[in-house]
């Protein structure tokens, strides 16, 4: 940590990962010596550079090298876990003892499981996740990048950026267990996030935020600047809110609203943990129609467009693309090894996932979707409560717009929406032909849905 | 040699302003559900964060290696980062308002109790509570008990005179349930967090008969209807008042947010609420003594205080760190907080509340013809323009001065200052009730909020026919 140059990052990661690799093996050996039946170690290290801008001023330059070792043990069908943020041998041995002490007072669970090397063969590395150029980025490069974003965000003087953060990260992650499973992954990334609002005299727009993460330095600036332009334009348009109508019926959800409102409920009921505990409404619905036929959803952990890409899951199983919902039919539950054993099925290698969700485009034309009713609320963000168990949702439509006879009448204020997601997911009238990447982590289309209560101020 | 002594030694003869913060967090967390223990985890995070100020620019570096050599390298790195940033943005004078720099060595009540208690006792209690809740009713589908404790140890030394240390304990417990009848489900939860030990946690009023309370409410909600939407007169329970204080007012008066143009900007001295409303954010609350945001000093080494934000309806103060205090020409309020050693301090709240009034809850209900008592505070968000949204798991209908029936969850919304102007009664009964979970603002923070029962007008989200 002597110089702020990122040219050292690759070397640092190489050195730290070797140290952590040795520490992980030693920890597994110590756990065995302490009579653990099974043990698992997750080790990671990263080098991060971060710049912070507040109110148009660079306010902080930050560098951080970090390590973390987490471990889990099984003893007499009971489990315990511990973690520390260094690779010190004495500390790791103490962590094993702590985890075993917790296991001793835990409850026996016949379904505890860890995959062996045969079940979890070495995953093929995803080469796009490491970018040498990205690993060489220094704070100076980052300053220029951030300045370009700031200039673009504040081109319109009405835009007030509360905070802009840009960071690069080089990281290594290793996963090991006492049954011979071993996986490793390295990753570089550039991430940014910004939040702000538009201020025009005494008129203050709603607060909004955006951001994303990319692997490739060469195309990052173009992506960032485009996002800055879109953000600035959007929040300025949300000044001087208009009154939304009150009705029950159709609303148009932007890709971000589809993610915020609809996605969580689908994932909750597809989750192996929900199925295992009898909380899922779709526990026995594999190969059955559960939502609108217009919805197609898959998870592609090997897709280079998305920041959640990974070659192995939290249990160490190699990942692969899989279809979750096809034409509204549930194709699979999302199981890890533990929930799979409970449910007498196989893991879908989605422990810690899904990783990169892709909702396929439909055939809907956006203009036609907006014109579906004379008074249309287009919801962009949702601030409220969603109860995935009952499916009820209720909250404020943020950064949302009111279209009258197909014409944009302005952003809306204090507008609430409510409904039931099981009904909404079966009342999808159209899915757009255009799709958007949400924060670089997933792809979603626009959706026209029916049966939503809209309460204007 | 203590960590404070080591930091004190290392900060000598350093150029410019330097702040060294050692932070060790030991945490235990347990989660029991369906007769299983899904989480039984012990975690330690320790390191030193270094912040340097050179020519008006901040540089930050952190190390998890707490040897003197590693801390020295982190100091060099922070200085290098600040120098680089200062060059990029041009020399820029920045004053840090000194305020009351702490020299305390503080050990909070309950730290030793929690540290010395056996894992078997703590985990056993969590398993037992889950079991009790699961068996409380034939309608109970899922019970869940979660316990988390933080044992925080810190030492902070600044080059201009702060030199302090603390040990505090922050345990929290929450229980939740899903009840089921004829395919219909209802959910309920209650929880409490304190700054104190195990004994203090279980004295929290929210945990009185906690299993019976959750079981009864959750099962009753199975047959409950939704409230009618629209603008209503309501009585907000302390947890809901706390949400309003924290989300809808508190964030808008954080000075960094004020500088960005929040709705509170330029309103000091103006009436923003009913004269019945006095609101504060305190690091040293002494109304009930258990609030989870109690801190002897903040992460800049400034002693905390009770900061009155709204006094008799008039906006009186923002929440400051040392930098914004200088910019606004006021004293720092002790609101600079960092989540981990590797995080830089940000302006954060501590315990945010409305000061108790003189009305009695019973009178507030009996004098209301048509309205709701809002309980079961859920999640909440607010916006820069003061627009807020809170979810509540259940509400009580009030008709002709009487609590009549329990209704399902509601969403409340409005513009915070507008809502506070409609306040017509504030109770003398008071409770902290938001000590579980975390506030998020880039980093998490343990905060608390609460207040008396407050009667006002608010929008309730409902379903349209």
A2 has a pLDDT exceeding 50: no
Contact assessment for residue A433 and residue A361, using Cβ atoms and an 8 Å cutoff: yes
pLDDT at residue B464, rounded to an integer: 54
DSSP B223: T
| CA-CA-CA-CA torsion sign (A82, A83, A87, A90) | negative
Question: pLDDT band at residue A1, thresholds of 50, 70 and 90?
Answer: very low
pLDDT surpasses 80 at A5: no
Yes or no, beta carbons of A84 and B127 under 8 Å apart: no
* DSSP string of A346-411, one letter each residue: ---S-TT---SEEEPP-SB-HHHHHTTSSEEEEE-EEEEEE-TTT-EEEEEEES-EEEETTEEEEE
Question: How close, in Å, is residue A86 to chain B by CA atoms?
Answer: 7
Nearest CA in chain A to B379: A385
- For A78, the token pair is 């009971």
> Nearest-CA neighbor of B295 among B430, B441, B156?
B156
Res. B288 pLDDT band, cuts 50 70 90: confident
Record the tokens describing residue A222, joined without a space.
């173009």
What pLDDT shows up at residue B379? 76
User: Residues 241 to 280 of B: which have CB under 8 A from any A CB?
Assistant: 256-257, 259-263
Give the nearest partner residue to A277 out of B34, B85, B261, using CB atoms.
B34
Angle between helices A217-237 and A139-153 (to 10 degrees): 30
**For an interface test with B, which of A52, A269, A384 has the most B Cβ atoms less than 10 Å from its Cβ?**
A384
**Does the beta-carbon distance from B385 to A392 stay under 8 Å?**
no
Nearest to A86 among B65, B408, B411 (CB): B65
Closest Cα partner for A333 from A283, A386, A368?
Answer: A283
More confident of the two residues B26 and A58? B26
DSSP-derived secondary structure for A35-98: T-SEEEEEEEEEEEEEEEEETTEEEEEEEEEEEEEEEEEEETTEEEEEEESS--HHHHHHHHHH
- pLDDT grade for A53, boundaries at 50, 70 and 90: very high
Q: Which CATH architecture best describes the domain A6-237?
A: 2-Layer Sandwich (3.30)
Q: What is the pLDDT of residues A146-175, one digit of tens each?
A: 999 999 999 999 998 989 999 999 999 999
The whole domain housing B347 covers 230-461
Banded pLDDT at A370 (limits 50, 70, 90): very high
Residue A73 reports pLDDT greater than 90: yes
Tokens encoding A139 = 């704070």
How far is the C-alpha of A295 from the C-alpha of A145, rounded, in Å?
Answer: 38
Contacts with B134 from chain A: Cβ below 8 Å = none
- Under the banding of pLDDT at 50, 70 and 90, the label for residue A6 is very low
Name the domain boundary from B221, B251, B284: B221
3-state helix, strand, coil in chain A (%, to 5): 25, 40, 35
* Cα B383 to Cα B392: distance, rounded to the nearest angstrom: 18
In B313-386 the beta strands, taken as DSSP E runs, fall at: 314-315, 336-337, 346-347, 351-354, 370-382
What share of chain A has pLDDT > 90, as a percent?
85
**B142 contacts in A (CB within 8 Å)?**
277-279
What residues of chain B lie within 8 A of the CB of A85, using their CB?
44-47, 64
Please enumerate in sequence order all residues whose Cβ is within 8 A of that of B94, keeping only pairs 6 or more positions apart, or say none.
B53, B56, B323, B326
B32 forms beta bridges with B37, B145
Chain B positions touching A455 (Cβ under 8 A) are 229-230, 459, 461-462, 464
The mean predicted confidence, pLDDT, of chain A is 94
What is the pLDDT, as a whole number, of residue A4? 41
Between strands A322-326 and A416-420, the pairing is: unpaired
Per-window interface: B 104-163 vs A, CB < 8 A = 119-120, 123-124, 127, 141-142
Q: In Å, how far are A422, B82, B154 from A65, measured between CA atoms?
A: 45, 17, 21
* Cβ contact B172:B191 at 8 Å: yes
Residues of A in contact with B65 (CB under 8 A): 86
Identify whether residues B346 and B197 lie together within a single domain.
Answer: no
- Tell me how crowded residue B66 is: count the other CB atoms within 10 A of its CB: 17
- State whether B355 and B407 are in the same domain: yes
Percentage of chain B exceeding pLDDT 70: 99
Q: How confident is the model at residue B463 (pLDDT cuts 50, 70, 90)?
A: low
Which candidate in A4, A84, A394, A450 is best for mutational testing of the B interface (most B CBs within 10 A)? A394
Tell me, yes or no, whether B212 and B169 share the same domain: yes
Q: Are B114 and B169 in contact (CB under 8 A)?
A: yes
Q: Which of B61, B92, B387 minimises the CB distance to A396?
A: B387
Instruction: Name, in order, each residue with C-beta under 8 angstroms of B81's C-beta and a sequence gap of 6 or more.
Output: A4, A61, A62, A63, A139, B52, B59, B60, B61
- How far, in Å, CA of B147 to CA of B123, rounded? 8
CA angle, corner A280, sides to A278 and A281, nearest 5? Answer: 115
DSSP B79-136: HHHHHHHHHHH-----------B---EEE-TTHHHHHHS-HHHHHHHHHHHHHHHHTS
Q: Is A152 helix (H, G, I), strand (E, B) or coil?
A: helix
> What DSSP line would sit under A289-327, residue for residue?
B-S-TT--EEE-TT-TT-TT--SB-TTSPBP--EEEEET
Do residues B131 and B161 share a domain? yes
Given B76, B85, B256, which is nearest A58 (Cβ)? Answer: B85
CATH number at residue B139: 3.30.2290.10
Mean pLDDT of B19-43: 97
Task: Tell me the domain boundaries of chain A.
Answer: 6-237, 241-457
Determine the pLDDT at residue A331: 98
Give the mutation candidate from A9, A49, A107 for the B interface (greatest B CB count, under 10 A).
A107
How close B389 gets to chain A, by Cα (Å)? 6
A139 with B81: Cβ contact below 8 A = yes
| Same structural domain, B202 and B260 | no
- Contacts of residue A409, defined as CB under 8 A and 6 or more positions apart, other chains included, come to A242, A401, A402, A403
B409 vs A384: CB contact, 8 Å cut-off?
A: no
**Residue A360, min C-alpha distance to chain B (Å):** 31
Q: What Å distances lie between residue B35 and B7, B32, B126, B131, B160, CA to CA?
A: 47, 7, 11, 7, 54
Q: Are B212 and B234 within one domain? A: no
Instruction: Answer whether residue A9 shows pLDDT above 90.
Output: no
pLDDT band at B388 (very low <50, low <70, confident <90, very high): confident
B396: β partners: B373, B406
Among all residues of chain A, which has the CA nearest to that of B86?
A: A58
Name the least confident of A197-211, A424-438, B120-134.
Answer: A197-211
User: First CA to last CA across chain A, in angstroms?
Assistant: 55
DSSP B265-290: TT-TTSB-S-TT--EEEESS--SSS-
Query: Is B32 at the interface with chain A, CB within 8 A?
Result: yes
Cα nearest neighbour of B342 on chain A: A64
- Distances in Å between the alpha carbon of A128 and those of A133, A185, A187, A298, B235? 12, 11, 9, 20, 56
Give the containing element (helix H, strand E) for B255. helix B255-259
Do residue B119 and residue A160 have CB atoms under 8 angstroms apart?
Answer: no
Distance CA A359, CA A353 (A): 16
B147 and B38 in a common domain: yes
Longest dimension (CA), chain A: 74
Q: Which of B182, B203, B221 is the last residue before a domain boundary? A: B221
Domain boundary (B221, B248, B283) is at: B221
B362 and B421 in one domain?
yes
Tell me how crowded residue A62 is: count the other CB atoms within 10 A of its CB: 26
B181 and B276 co-located in one domain = no
Stretch 380-419 of chain A: residues touching chain B, C-beta under 8 Å: 383-385, 387, 389-390, 392, 394-396, 398, 413-414, 416-419
Number of domains in chain B: 2
The CA distance from A52 to B30, in Å, is 35
Report the complex ipTM.
Answer: 0.91
pLDDT tens-digit series, residues A252-308: 999 999 999 999 999 999 999 999 999 999 999 999 999 999 999 999 999 999 999
Q: What is the rounded distance in angstroms from the CA atom of residue B39 to the CA atom of residue B28?
A: 10
Nearest to A170 by CA among A184, A188, A186, A185: A188
């Amino acid at each position: 940590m002597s110089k702020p140059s990122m040219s050292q990052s690759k070397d640092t990661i190489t050195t730290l990962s070797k140290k952590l690799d040795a520490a992980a093996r030693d920890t597994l050996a110590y756990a065995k010596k302490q009579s653990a039946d099974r043990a698992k170690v997750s080790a990671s290290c990263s080098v991060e550079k971060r710049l912070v801008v507040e109110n148009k001023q660079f306010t902080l330059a930050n560098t951080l090298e970090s390590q973390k070792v987490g471990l889990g043990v099984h003893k007499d069908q009971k489990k315990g876990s511990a973690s520390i943020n260094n690779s010190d041998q004495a500390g790791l041995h103490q962590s094993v003892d702590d985890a075993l002490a917790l296991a001793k007072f835990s409850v026996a669970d016949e379904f505890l499981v860890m995959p062996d090397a045969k079940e979890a063969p070495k995953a093929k590395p995803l080469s796009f996740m490491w970018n040498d150029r990205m690993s060489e980025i220094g704070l100076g490069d980052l300053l220029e990048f951030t300045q370009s974003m700031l200039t673009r965000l504040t081109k319109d003087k009405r835009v007030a950026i509360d905070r802009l953060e840009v960071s690069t990260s080089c990281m290594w992650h290793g996963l090991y267990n006492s049954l011979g499973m071993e996986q490793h992954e390295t990753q570089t990334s550039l991430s940014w996030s910004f939040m702000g609002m538009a201020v025009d005299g005494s008129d203050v727009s709603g607060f909004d935020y955006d951001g994303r993460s990319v692997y490739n330095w060469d195309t990052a600036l173009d992506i960032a600047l485009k996002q800055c332009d879109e953000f600035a334009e959007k929040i300025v348009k949300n000044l001087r809110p208009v009154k939304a109508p009150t009705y029950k019926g159709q609303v148009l959800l932007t890709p971000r609203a589809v993610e915020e409102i609809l996605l969580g409920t689908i994932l909750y009921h597809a989750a192996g943990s929900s199925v295992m505990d009898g909380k899922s409404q779709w526990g026995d619905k594999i190969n059955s129609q559960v939502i609108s036929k217009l919805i197609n959803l898959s998870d592609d952990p090997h897709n280079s467009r998305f920041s959640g890409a990974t070659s192995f899951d939290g249990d160490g199983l190699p990942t692969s693309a899989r279809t979750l919902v096809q034409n509204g039919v549930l194709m699979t539950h999302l199981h890890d090894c533990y929930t799979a054993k409970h449910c007498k099925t196989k893991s879908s290698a989605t422990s810690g996932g899904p990783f990169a969700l892709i909702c396929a485009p439909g055939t809907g034309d956006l203009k036609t979707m907006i014109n579906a009713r004379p008074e249309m609320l287009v919801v962009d963000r949702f601030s409220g409560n969603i109860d995935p168990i009952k499916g009820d949702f209720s909250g404020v439509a943020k950064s949302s717009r009111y279209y009258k006879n197909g014409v944009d009448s302005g952003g809306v204020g204090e507008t609430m929406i409510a409904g039931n997601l099981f009904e909404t997911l079966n009342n999808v009238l159209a899915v757009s032909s255009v799709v958007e990447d949400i924060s670089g982590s997933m792809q979603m289309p626009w959706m026209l849905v029916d049966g939503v209560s809209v309460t204007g101020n | 040699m203590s960590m404070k002594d080591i930091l004190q030694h290392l900060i000598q003869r350093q150029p410019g302003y330097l702040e060294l913060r050692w932070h060790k967090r030991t945490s235990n967390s347990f989660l029991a559900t369906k007769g299983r223990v899904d989480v039984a985890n012990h975690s330690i995070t320790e390191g030193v964060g270094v912040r340097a100020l050179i020519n008006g620019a901040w540089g930050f570096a952190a190390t998890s290696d707490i040897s003197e050599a590693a801390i020295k390298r982190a100091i060099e790195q922070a200085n290098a980062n600040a120098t680089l940033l200062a060059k990029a943005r041009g020399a820029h004078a920045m004053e840090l308002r000194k305020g009351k720099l702490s020299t305390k060595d503080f050990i909070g009540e309950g730290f030793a109790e929690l540290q010395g208690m056996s894992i078997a006792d703590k985990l056993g209690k969590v398993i037992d509570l889950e079991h009790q809740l699961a068996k409380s009713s034939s309608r109970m589908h899922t019970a869940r008990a979660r316990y988390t404790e933080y044992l925080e140890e810190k030492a902070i030394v600044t080059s201009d005179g702060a030199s302090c240390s603390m040990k505090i304990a922050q345990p929290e417990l929450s229980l939740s349930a899903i009840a089921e009848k004829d395919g219909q489900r209802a959910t309920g939860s209650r929880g409490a967090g304190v700054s104190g030990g195990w004994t203090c946690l279980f004295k929290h009023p929210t945990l009185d008969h906690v299993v019976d309370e959750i079981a009864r409410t959750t099962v009753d909600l199975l047959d409950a209807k939704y409230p009618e939407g629209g603008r209503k007169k309501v009585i907000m329970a302390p947890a809901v008042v706390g949400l309003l204080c924290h989300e809808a007012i508190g964030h808008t008066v954080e000075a960094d947010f004020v500088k960005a143009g929040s709705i509170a900007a330029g309103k000091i001295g103006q009436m923003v609420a009913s004269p019945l409303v006095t609101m504060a954010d305190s690091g040293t609350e002494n109304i009930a003594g258990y609030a989870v945001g109690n801190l002897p000093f903040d992460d800049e080494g400034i002693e905390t205080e009770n900061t009155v934000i709204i006094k008799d309806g008039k906006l009186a103060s923002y929440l400051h760190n040392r930098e914004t205090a200088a910019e606004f020409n006021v004293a720092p309020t002790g609101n600079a907080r960092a989540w981990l050693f590797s995080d830089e301090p940000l302006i954060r709240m501590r315990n945010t509340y409305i000061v108790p009034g003189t009305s009695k809850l019973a009178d507030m209900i009996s004098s209301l013809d048509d309205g709701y008592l809002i309980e079961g505070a859920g999640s909440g968000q607010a916006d820069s323009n003061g627009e807020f949204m809170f979810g509540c798991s259940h509400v009580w209908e009030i008709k002709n001065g009487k609590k009549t029936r329990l209704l399902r969850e509601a969403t409340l919304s409005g513009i915070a200052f507008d809502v506070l102007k409609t306040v017509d009664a504030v109770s003398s009964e008071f409770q902290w009730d938001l000590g579980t979970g975390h506030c998020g603002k880039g980093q998490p923070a343990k905060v608390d909020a609460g207040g008396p029962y407050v009667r006002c007008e608010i929008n309730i989200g409902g379903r349209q026919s």
